[in-house]
Chain A
């Protein structure tokens, strides 16, 4: 507050009580006063109505309408009061230079530079030690701060829970049998035992499509992956990991509902439109002696969106 002493005192004029600056802005203050009174009264009634509506456990829209209307009309009345009935001005306020004089600035800077300098220059070792200590603490503190937040990724992003021989089950845990799907059908499957786990749903989810009644080859080298027309792709979009649950059976496209990447189902799920850069990984399948759909192995590449360590 001491800077008040050094500032030029605020010069304020006097005004006669009948000065036009003090007159209300409204041309017809009496009328405006009535309108304001009406607005405030309406606000009061509605606010009380909100209380009543609350007691009577009314529907949300009644609560909101009474509270909102009440506040709105109270506000409108108050604004109008300030705008039309209070002194219309205009009033003026001088603006003062915020900057201080050269001398003040020099004194400030001198205090920091000279005092600080004199201390640090004479005790360089102490300063160095203190600075080193604090700096080391800053770096060291960072480790537990970050490292405690979670485990290191290690290899977890490279594998799913699909193993050689995993049964494909739907979300209720029912194994998918080769007779279950007609051509053109799709079902989301998980390796048996993970269908109700977070990780199963987030990482292992796979779309199983029946594309024909014969063994189906989506790409060279995948001759045995699509027994009896069953083919399976990771359900995680290679763009941002949304579930690619949108299957168009005539266009033979899997479409990601988030950013509309389109994957060609008949051709190894190579993306042919949208931002996804890589095909959906395909899961090699086989039909066992009982007729159940099982996986030959895990996916041959990491599923889902791209990351630095992915080769």
Chain B
């Protein structure tokens, strides 16, 4: 009903003003979806408010991210889980020296900080499917969230360290700032659309399409694998901005222009242009012409 009324009104307007004029007039109206985000003044990083402990940053002096150390009460459970799932490679002391009979060097986990332990377990990379793989791929986690926290608690109890597990306050973060920071710091590996790509030798920058906020923040702060760490050069506000951009625009692109074509950019576009555009038109041409 409303639609009809609108139509009628448009028809009247067209009749009154004259179609060509009216055609030109509404051209300034906003088109497509309306984009919304909350705004605030992103804090600029300031080394003075950074709190350090044993040379490690424990807080960036702002409230965009809360870092939580897992409860020491979980440590006993954590040790049991650790021995069951991790010790065969990382050793019973978590120092990277495996049990007798195993060869090869594995990372020392002592002093890595709960965020690192949590990231590797909760992203399903650990326990590793293939310990010899150049890079452990992301997969469904083998251990639950609570189990991961417990293991992190036990390893942390061996030598308390940072960063602790971040909880990102994305509500007050600024998507536009996040986009700019993402382009400067992340896109070189993960691509500007967040799809990831192959890096040197057999390493890969993983896709960011399906990664929870906490893990994004953990990865930024701890630099898992070949990824560089972003510490004093990004404030918590800035990390929160990036996390918000990743969890909104990267993971849920609005694609106002149609199908997103897998974010592969001009390669996918070229295939569509040739295999859909040119091919369909050539087929139509095949019909228009004769086979002789």
Do B257 and A60 touch across chains, with their CB atoms under 8 A apart? Answer: yes
Chain B residues whose CB sits within 8 angstroms of the CB of A185 once the complex forms: 223, 228-233
Q: A60-B256, A172-B44, A246-B199 are in contact. Are A179 and B228 (CB under 8 A)?
A: no
Number of interface residues of A (CB under 8 A): 42
CB-contact partner of A52 in B7, B32, B44, under 8 A: B7
In the assembly, what is the distance between CA of A24 and CA of B215, in Å?
69
Do A57 and B29 touch across chains, with their CB atoms under 8 A apart? Answer: yes
Q: A60-B31, A184-B228, A185-B233 are in contact. Are A251 and B203 (CB under 8 A)?
A: yes
Do B200 and A174 touch across chains, with their CB atoms under 8 A apart? Answer: no
Chain A residues whose CB sits within 8 angstroms of the CB of B184 once the complex forms: 171, 188
Do B47 and A179 touch across chains, with their CB atoms under 8 A apart? Answer: yes
In the assembly, what is the distance between CA of A92 and CA of B231, in Å?
79
Task: Report the minimum CB–CB distance from A237 to chain B (whole Å).
Answer: 12
Tell me the nearest residue of chain B to A252, going by C-beta.
B226
Tell me the nearest residue of chain A to B231, going by C-beta.
A182
Tell me the nearest residue of chain B to A260, going by C-beta.
B200
B288 at the interface (CB under 8 A from A): yes
In the assembly, what is the distance between CA of A247 and CA of B230, in Å?
12
Do A57 and B44 touch across chains, with their CB atoms under 8 A apart? Answer: no
CB-contact partner of B47 in A171, A180, A183, A247, under 8 A: A180
Tell me the nearest residue of chain B to A57, going by C-beta.
B29
B227 at the interface (CB under 8 A from A): yes
B6 at the interface (CB under 8 A from A): yes
Q: Which residues from 163 to 190 on chain B have a C-beta closer than 8 Å to any C-beta of chain A? A: 184, 188-189
Chain A residues whose CB sits within 8 angstroms of the CB of B188 once the complex forms: 243, 245-246, 257
Q: A56-B6, A59-B256 are in contact. Are A181 and B201 (CB under 8 A)?
A: no
Chain A residues whose CB sits within 8 angstroms of the CB of B258 once the complex forms: 60-61, 64
B271 at the interface (CB under 8 A from A): no
Fill in one digit per residue for B180-218: 1 if any A CB lies within 8 Å of its CB, else 0: 000010001100000000011101000000000000000
In the assembly, what is the distance between CA of A246 and CA of B186, in Å?
9
Chain A residues whose CB sits within 8 angstroms of the CB of B270 once the complex forms: none
B260 at the interface (CB under 8 A from A): no
Chain A residues whose CB sits within 8 angstroms of the CB of B287 once the complex forms: 79
26 contacts between A and B (CB under 8 A): A55-B10, A56-B6, A56-B7, A57-B29, A59-B32, A59-B256, A60-B31, A83-B288, A180-B47, A180-B231, A180-B232, A182-B229, A182-B232, A184-B228, A184-B229, A185-B232, A188-B184, A245-B188, A246-B189, A247-B228, A248-B199, A248-B200, A249-B227, A250-B226, A251-B200, A251-B226
